Amino acid sequence: MLLQSKVLMADIQSFNALRYDPRQVSLADVVTQPYDKITSTLQDHYYAASPHNLVRIILGRREKTDNGENNVYSRAAAYFGDWRKKGILRQDPLPSLYVYSQRFTPPGSTTEVERRGFIALGRIEEYSAGIVYRHEQTLAKPKADRLDLLRSTRAHFGQLFMLYEDSGQIESLLATPNDPDVAVTDEHRVLHRVWPITDKRVIHSVQSAMSEKKLIIADGHHRYETALTYRNERCAVDSSAAARPGMAPYDFVMMTFVNMNSSALHILPTHRVVHSLPSFSEESFRNGTRAFFDLGDVDPALDAARATAILRESGRAGTSILAVTANRAFLLHHPNPNSTAQVPGLSIRQQGLDVVQLHKCLLEKVLNLSEESIHNQQNLSYVRDAAEALSQVRGANARANIALLMNPCRMSQVRDIAFAGEVMPQKSTDFYPKLLSGLTIYALD
């Protein structure tokens, strides 16, 4: 429900979400990981799980006969309309905030933790307004794809992952003794639970508390900027927009809000794997790197656990990167203070990031990859799992030239970079676990 309000900081609204009817489908068979985490194998799994799996809408299969009239976007809109008509998706009768809990065991740990947040609508703001902050660069191609889907379906199927900061006040306001409406375990053994909150007094209290907050996008930069572009498109042609400025359905997008001070907020590293270089030599890389880092040889047979341990220990003293080739392994540490200072436009905060050191010194200067080729991922792939990254440079089937392993970025670094109005390279952070798509859906009409 969209209520007229004066924007102070974050403008949060309850809404009547569309949700899967559990009498018609099993939720475990229809919800998905975010679209950009769906591999071709996972896409096939989702297609086989249910004819109503959300993948058909958010990442449908392309067909050889696709054309301007019949394509992934037109089929997504047709599925969405059909499922609403048949009651597969039903709209909640009361405007709600949705408490969202995720119970999981972080990678590398044996202790289960719980991350809590809440799903609501958040007003779309230009970054220049100083209310919503980004921390990563975006790419044009994913935004064009998501914009075509939004134009066709006029709905948001996954939540943007947004961070706010407080001492736990908002979580306390949303505490409930009730059993969850939804409980589903995903393919990563994460238990997702949802509680609708319809009490108007609670909703108003949360809105009031959030009106003092600034927000950082944790995950969903491309979808946020897509929603912003779509809002501007609609405002340009909506004759009624002037009569109710800022209060149309397209002025808002679905978000999950999580306290950045939560001890259950986990960021994983995203490693870089470089492949298909026309010429590459371990010795040339080793010699070139010496201009930027202190360098030490490491056991080339190290496994993922040992690599992670070495990085963690070395990282206590500052920037540390582990470079692994087919036959060698090097620990890069104590960067030359002049190495990134020579790059125009980089602040001290940015220069201190491992991922910036990796991109500006190793990728661009030692391996001679252009910024354009990095953006287009011509010789570069991003890998979450250290074992997978190592496997791509070792063994008979290895095809990559070098794997560059990193420690995860710290939440304090994300906060400081974002609030300073600066950005990191793409794929700098990997918040874990991801928010499931399809738990709640926000239809614009």
pLDDT (average), residues 164-186: 96
Ramachandran angles phi, psi of 117, nearest 5°: -155, -165
User: In the prediction, which pLDDT does 5 show?
Assistant: 45
User: In the prediction, which pLDDT does 137 show?
Assistant: 84
Q: How far apart are CA 80 and CA 412, in angstroms?
A: 40
pLDDT (average), residues 115-142: 93
Reply yes or no on whether the pLDDT at 356 is more than 90.
yes
The one-letter amino acid at 360: K
- Tens of pLDDT, residue by residue over 377-407, are 899 999 999 999 999 999 878 899 999 999 9
- Any residues with CB less than 8 A from the CB of 309 and at least 6 apart, and which? none
Cα separation of the two ends of the chain: 13
pLDDT (average), residues 146-166: 97
The token pair at 206 is 């949360």
pLDDT (average), residues 187-209: 97
The token pair at 357 is 């050191």
Name the band, by pLDDT with cuts 50, 70 and 90, for residue 340: low
- Tens of pLDDT, residue by residue over 200-218, are 999 999 999 999 999 999 9
What pairs with residue 216 in β-bridges? Answer: 133, 163
CB 418 within 8 A of CB 216: yes
Reply yes or no on whether the pLDDT at 413 is more than 90.
yes
Q: How far apart are CA 126 and CA 25, in angstroms?
A: 38
User: In the prediction, which pLDDT does 97 show?
Assistant: 98
- Any residues with CB less than 8 A from the CB of 196 and at least 6 apart, and which? 17, 92, 94, 96, 97, 98, 181
Reply yes or no on whether the pLDDT at 165 is more than 80.
yes
The token pair at 328 is 């060698």
Name the band, by pLDDT with cuts 50, 70 and 90, for residue 95: very high
User: Which one, of 26, 34, 59, lies nearest residue 44 by Cα?
Assistant: 59
Angle in degrees, 0-180, between the axes of helices 72-85 and 140-153, rounded to the nearest 10:
40
Q: Is the pTM of this model over 0.85?
A: yes
| 235, containing H or E segment | helix 221-237
What is the torsional sign of CA 15, 16, 20, 21?
positive
User: In the prediction, which pLDDT does 357 show?
Assistant: 92
